[in-house]
A and B are shown apart, each in its own frame.
Chain A
């Protein structure tokens, strides 16, 4: 017992430098920035009141919510299909498929956005191919609008979602599936009554992850939306470096931080999340 306690003490002591660094160079500056939201330009809650009175900010928030929700739903559906297929694959094939899933991780978000432009623009790869095949007479408007932003964001989020879901699906005990089959369940029933309920913790945590991540997208909406899709992160960025309205920018950042913290706290009350976070120590 004593050995374990000492070990634990040492383990905790070893995290102190990293913790101190994080507090000094991350937490304190963030608090300083957040303090601006109640002191700039004058002391009080004026910036927060302004957030609610400003119709333009309301529209930015609404755009962000709509785009994030669409991104989340599409990412979850597509990623679940891929993750489910990965689980069924033979190990050799799976390794290759996994490599393909990971590939986008090595490409910067900027390059990915510009690649999407090449594919989706009016004279782009996709429109040309569809046009030559005689399927369309006018090029489709696939970018410089909300659709383009969502395509770019789903593409960005999918590798994360696939890995999270795959980890969850491989945890599902294969004997349960066998049991269901031996009891005469048809494939659809097995999926609907066994796979899906057992995937809930994974789906829940992945959804939360994507929603939170989507709120903060900056580069993808800026490039693929071309001014027509204004989301919170870009709005904050303009207020900080351009218009010098630091009070409003920090108030908006603080609010977003609180909303995200609130979402996590709320989610943690749900058993699916607790089991996803807590793992085996239920």
Chain B
């Protein structure tokens, strides 16, 4: 679930870039027109010859970014139009669409966890690996019901002015209120939260899963009065801007924006928590197998670099690394320098347990 929210957040970032003039207006308007077309042509086109692929993401200006990174290269090669629909493919929305047998999306931008959850419920197709080339993505990024389109990380961001220019070494320092007094922020969506708590409590990364929830709650409880929980990326950014918090567990894309605004607001890659986002294909998608050609094309490094530069989302194709500048690498979670102490968040675990964990977490923090 938090991955959906992450994608939505990336769209907001791109929108900010557009409004502040970093993306040109014409390209932005073209993408918006594309959305209008998507709305007009949606239902009842399944029988026609495939002339378009409808991709659903989280809207805003990610419409434009996805079009540039994924849509344009595919159209150039295949002649097939890619329409980006920004309606937001929450697991709930996909389920409703599949159950009402009125599927209008070919590929949806969710998380690996969503992909597995939807797969278990029978709402998405297994990825057809006879067409999709697994070798294009890194290790562990090609799952039965989803293949990684980009990566991102939860990082420990901090306000260097408030820490006296000390860099927190990792999550243990997040809990050290004597060393770093002040409020903290964490996310109220569960993925990547308890991992940071357990790392602080000394759990070894290789023994992280299954999460010891009781241990995590016990460690977290005394800190609760010091924590402000964020629910949207913009909010996490605002808390730092306003000087409300000294440290936070936030998405690296937001930390990146903060540092661009104010060099004091920065982050450490130490003990970052790595996530894979994924394409899924809703059951009975209108374009049928054609969608896998699109997915293949979206895994090319050239397009993925475009997305990294537009929104900060990290490529899933390891070859992209060779094409990066130093500036690109600084925001890429999988750059060797950054990934050293990172922990890969285990999608399979969340696919099984997220609903239960999320509810327990919300209950725990609101007591």
Residues of A within 8 A of B (CB): 56, 59-60, 63, 117, 121-123, 144, 222-223, 225-230, 235, 238-246
A-B pairs with lowest CB-CB distance, top 7: A227-B229, A243-B355, A56-B363, A230-B366, A227-B188, A241-B92, A242-B1
Q: Which residue of B has the minimal Cβ distance to A144? A: B228
For chain B, which range describes its interface: under 10, 10 to 19, 20 to 34, or 35 or more residues? 20 to 34
The reply to whether A228 and B229 form a contact with Cβ atoms under 8 Å apart is yes
The reply to whether A56 and B242 form a contact with Cβ atoms under 8 Å apart is no
Kindly list chain B residues whose C-beta atoms are within 8 Å of the C-beta of A122.
183, 244
B358 within 8 A of A: yes
Q: Which residue of B has the minimal Cβ distance to A242? A: B1
Of listed B93, B183, B367, residue having the most chain A CB within 10 A? B367
Kindly list chain B residues whose C-beta atoms are within 8 Å of the C-beta of A123.
242-244
In the bound complex, CA of A63 to CA of B365 (Å): 13
Q: A59-B363, A228-B365, A238-B362 are in contact. Are A244 and B242 (CB under 8 A)?
A: no
Q: Which residue of A has the minimal Cβ distance to B91? A: A244
In the bound complex, CA of A144 to CA of B90 (Å): 27
**A227-B188, A230-B363 provided; 20 other pairs, C-beta below 8 A?**
A56-B360, A56-B363, A59-B367, A121-B242, A123-B242, A123-B243, A223-B231, A227-B228, A229-B366, A230-B366, A238-B358, A238-B362, A241-B91, A241-B92, A242-B90, A242-B91, A242-B189, A242-B358, A244-B355, A245-B355
The reply to whether A228 and B366 form a contact with Cβ atoms under 8 Å apart is yes
Q: Which residue of B has the minimal Cβ distance to A229? A: B366
Chain B, range 204-250, C-beta contacts under 8 Å to A: 228-231, 235, 238, 242-244
B354 within 8 A of A: yes
Of listed B90, B121, B244, B366, residue having the most chain A CB within 10 A? B366
The reply to whether A56 and B359 form a contact with Cβ atoms under 8 Å apart is yes
Pick from A121, A235, A238, A243: contact of B244, CB below 8 A.
Answer: A121
Contacts across chains A and B counted by CB atoms under 8 Å:
72
The reply to whether A244 and B121 form a contact with Cβ atoms under 8 Å apart is yes
* Nearest CB of B to A146, in Å: 10
Q: Which residue of A has the minimal Cβ distance to B224? A: A228
Kindly list chain A residues whose C-beta atoms are within 8 Å of the C-beta of B92.
240-242, 244, 246
Contact with A along B323-367 (1 / 0, CB 8 A): 000000000000000000000000000000011001110110111
* Nearest CB of A to B154, in Å: 16
Kindly list chain A residues whose C-beta atoms are within 8 Å of the C-beta of B235.
223
Kindly list chain B residues whose C-beta atoms are within 8 Å of the C-beta of A225.
366
* Nearest CB of A to B136, in Å: 30
The reply to whether B358 and A243 form a contact with Cβ atoms under 8 Å apart is yes
Contact with A along B73-109 (1 / 0, CB 8 A): 0000000000000000011110100000000000000
Selected A-B contacts with CB under 8 Å, 10 pairs: A121-B242, A121-B244, A223-B235, A225-B366, A226-B228, A228-B366, A235-B362, A239-B359, A242-B91, A244-B121
Pick from B231, B355, B359: contact of A227, CB below 8 A.
Answer: B231
Pick from B117, B188, B244: contact of A244, CB below 8 A.
Answer: B117
In the bound complex, CA of A63 to CA of B363 (Å): 11
Kindly list chain A residues whose C-beta atoms are within 8 Å of the C-beta of B362.
56, 227, 230, 235, 238
Q: Which residue of B has the minimal Cβ distance to A145? A: B225
Kindly list chain B residues whose C-beta atoms are within 8 Å of the C-beta of A117.
238
Q: Which residue of A has the minimal Cβ distance to B234? A: A114
In the bound complex, CA of A227 to CA of B231 (Å): 8
The reply to whether A222 and B231 form a contact with Cβ atoms under 8 Å apart is yes
* Nearest CB of A to B245, in Å: 10
Of listed B90, B117, B358, B363, residue having the most chain A CB within 10 A? B363
Kindly list chain A residues whose C-beta atoms are within 8 Å of the C-beta of B121.
244
* Nearest CB of A to B170, in Å: 23
* Nearest CB of B to A251, in Å: 15
In the bound complex, CA of A225 to CA of B183 (Å): 15
In the bound complex, CA of A229 to CA of B93 (Å): 26
The reply to whether A226 and B244 form a contact with Cβ atoms under 8 Å apart is no
